[in-house]
């Protein structure tokens, strides 16, 4: 079960440092493979005071089920025509709405369906809850994040401190796979992952971890490939039934918890996430994932990627042109909408 004890510790720490605010979290796509376990995990997070579950199908049922869990938060489900009500008063909106991959598909193959879903949800957030922090899980993240930003920009509501692409699953996989190779506990081997969230745009920085940097040669190539393409293992094993849902729900809940801790005033909450970023802007790449410090307004500080190895430099060179294409595709979609 998701770090329940860890959440209690987190909560205790937050209580001691600041008054915990009322935090309403909305999940858009709550009836889906990710949405359901994510809603359950958010119900277990003491930093969430109220949970609004929305989907075009099934959310009231998920809400009724999850609402019986014995934590203090209130849960309400909203049907297809109740998006505005679901968003009212939301401080954080998590979006796992949209179709997942089937075997043989890349994340970009999902663009045609998911781009308009995400655009329409972003427009509703801009209208109803423009102050909300928006966490985008729907793929292709490299394009859906620029779509959300451009949609809000059109409404004059875009605040770059409040729009996040959730790349936490890459970070979770990196720690797990490096732990597996080295025989270490993954919780003791955090790995920074930068770039974007698809195959070659995923750039794990093993050289910055005392454990990660011990991996070399063939083992290095293998573990990097596994971090970049770990999602394919799940798509293949599920054999047409979808992509990662449970590990993604874990990762989504983990990132949401980090954001809520930052919003509550906890200092030093730093994690990679895909945000509007100045790091590669001079190369026409204005969204990028690197370590970001989360604060009371969302993004508090974007960290540079730091020193990297020659191998990582090569990975970054492969990432940047692909990422640029993905970002431009998202922006063009909104411009033509
Ligand atoms: P799913 O098909 O099981 O669930 C998607 C849900 O979205 C469904 O319940 C559907 O009714 C709902 N939905 C569709 N249109 C909607 C709309 N306009 N408003 C509200 N809800 C809507 O798919 P799953 O497995 O939950 O994946 C969801 C998305 O997350 C996919 O795009 C997938 O590629 C992505 N994903 C992202 C990951 C990441 O690391 N960021 C990892 C794994 C998946």
Assign domain 24-165 to a CATH class: alpha beta
Task: Break the chain into its structural domains and give their ranges.
Answer: 24-165, 167-336
Measured in Å, residue 275 CA sits from the centre of ligand 1 at 20
Per-residue model confidence (pLDDT) at position 22: 78
Name residues whose C-beta falls within 8 Å of residue 170's C-beta, 6 or more positions apart in sequence: 193, 197, 202, 204, 227, 230, 272
CA-to-CA distance for 133 and 91, rounded, in angstroms? Answer: 6
Domain topology for 167-336: L-2-Hydroxyisocaproate Dehydrogenase; Chain A, domain 2 (3.90.110)
pTM, rounded to two decimals: 0.94
Measured in Å, residue 5 CA sits from the centre of ligand 1 at 28
* Phi, psi of 240, deg, nearest 5: 100, -10
Report whether 119 belongs to an annotated binding site.
no
pLDDT digits (tens, 9 = 90+) for 192-238: 999 999 999 999 999 999 999 999 999 999 999 999 999 999 999 99
Q: Where are the alpha helices (DSSP H) in 34-110?
A: 35-43, 59-66, 83-87
- Catalytic residue, chosen from 68, 197, 225, 303, is 197
pLDDT digits (tens, 9 = 90+) for 11-63: 444 443 344 567 999 999 999 999 999 999 999 999 999 999 999 999 999 99
């Amino acid at each position: 079960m998701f770090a329940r004890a860890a959440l209690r510790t987190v909560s205790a720490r937050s209580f001691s440092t600041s008054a915990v605010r009322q935090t309403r979290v909305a999940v858009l796509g709550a009836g889906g493979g990710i949405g359901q376990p994510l809603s359950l995990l958010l119900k277990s997070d003491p930093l969430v005071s109220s949970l609004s579950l929305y989907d075009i199908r099934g959310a009231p049922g998920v809400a009724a089920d999850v609402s019986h869990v014995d934590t203090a938060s209130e849960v309400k489900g909203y049907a297809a025509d109740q998006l505005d009500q679901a968003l009212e008063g939301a401080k954080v909106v998590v979006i796992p709405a949209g179709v997942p991959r089937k075997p043989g598909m890349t994340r970009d193959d999902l663009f045609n369906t998911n781009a308009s879903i995400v655009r329409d949800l972003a427009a509703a957030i801009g209208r109803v809850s423009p102050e909300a922090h928006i966490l985008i899980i729907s793929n292709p993240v490299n394009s859906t994040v620029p779509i959300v930003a451009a949609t809000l920009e059109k409404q004059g509501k875009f605040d770059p401190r409040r729009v996040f692409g959730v790349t936490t699953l890459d970070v979770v996989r990196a720690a797990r796979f490096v732990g597996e190779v080295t025989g270490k506990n993954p919780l003791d081997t955090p790995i920074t992952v930068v770039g974007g969230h698809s195959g070659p745009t995923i750039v794990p920085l093993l050289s910055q971890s005392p454990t990660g940097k011990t991996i070399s040669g063939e083992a290095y190539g293998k573990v990097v490939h596994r971090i970049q393409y770990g999602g394919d293992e799940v798509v293949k094993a599920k054999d047409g039934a979808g992509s990662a849902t449970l590990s993604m729900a874990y990762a989504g809940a983990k990132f949401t918890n980090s954001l809520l801790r930052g919003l509550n005033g906890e200092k030093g909450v730093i994690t990679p996430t895909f945000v509007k970023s100045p790091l590669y802007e001079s190369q026409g790449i204005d969204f990028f994932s690197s370590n970001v410090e989360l604060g009371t307004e969302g993004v508090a500080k974007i960290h540079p990627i730091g020193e990297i190895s020659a191998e990582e430099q090569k990975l970054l060179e492969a990432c940047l042109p692909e990422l640029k294409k993905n970002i431009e595709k998202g922006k063009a979609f909104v411009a033509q909408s």
